[in-house]
Amino acid sequence: MNNSKYKHIFFDLDRTLWDFNKNSEASLNQLFRDYQLQSIFGSFLFFKSRYEYHNGKLWNAYYQKRIKKEDLMYRRFYLTLKEAGKNDLDLAKEIAKDFIEITPLQTVTFPNAHQILEYLKTKKYQLYIITNGFNEVQAKKLQNSKLDAYFTEVITSEDAGANKPTPQIFEYAFNKSGAVANNSLLIGDDLSTDIAGAKRVKMDQIYFNPHRINHKDEPTFEISDLLEIKNIL
């Protein structure tokens, strides 16, 4: 049994447990080959960089409720293709559909992800996912990477009707889990969504910073390897 003041541990998924960058790159690489996109973009790196640019802008628009989920899913590919001189909405939608099917099949997790979750389970912590990702994609990611068995609840922004860092998603998470802020801890990689969001509801945080990025924020704790959670919990 754990002697910590924390009972409920909320994990972000992408870039915290599931290696979003590696898995996304593998999926984009497969699409690049399958759709012979070299004839449009020349190199994979150019395709990837332009996709990431448009994807980032559209996710910001989605967070601000300026576009819908369905639009985000295909527009990131449509704008990428269009920029390279291929104005083809049907092709963009086809690629987008494949991307949503291929990505959750990727299974690269961060080093020690399974080990730390196993450790926390044996210590009787209640574990949850809290994510801004889409329901159908996140569920498959968890299942295929064999992470799903560790978690009591998967709280998504879709179900909550609000994204991190807004307090609403955390309040929704507390209602679903029976947790409260002062016996809960959030573990995430993003200062502006995960850490800022937890601070807004006065929940302690562990900032997962594997690349040791310099910042001026002051999270409750900071780690660069998931196994360091053992020093805290």
- What structural domains and CATH numbers belong to the chain? 8-19+109-231 (3.40.50.1000), 21-105 (1.10.150.240)
What is the pLDDT at residue 65? 87
The two three-digit tokens of residue 115, written as one number: 């080990």
CA–CA gap between residue 233 and residue 214 (Å, rounded): 25
**What beta strand segments (E) does the chain contain?**
8-11, 126-131, 153-156, 184-188, 204-208, 221-223
pLDDT in tens, 19-77: 999 999 999 999 999 999 999 999 999 999 999 999 999 999 998 889 999 999 999 99
Beta carbons of 12 and 130 less than 8 angstroms apart: yes
pTM of the model: 0.93
The two three-digit tokens of residue 142, written as one number: 């968890």
Beta carbons of 110 and 117 less than 8 angstroms apart: no
pLDDT for 226 beyond 70? yes
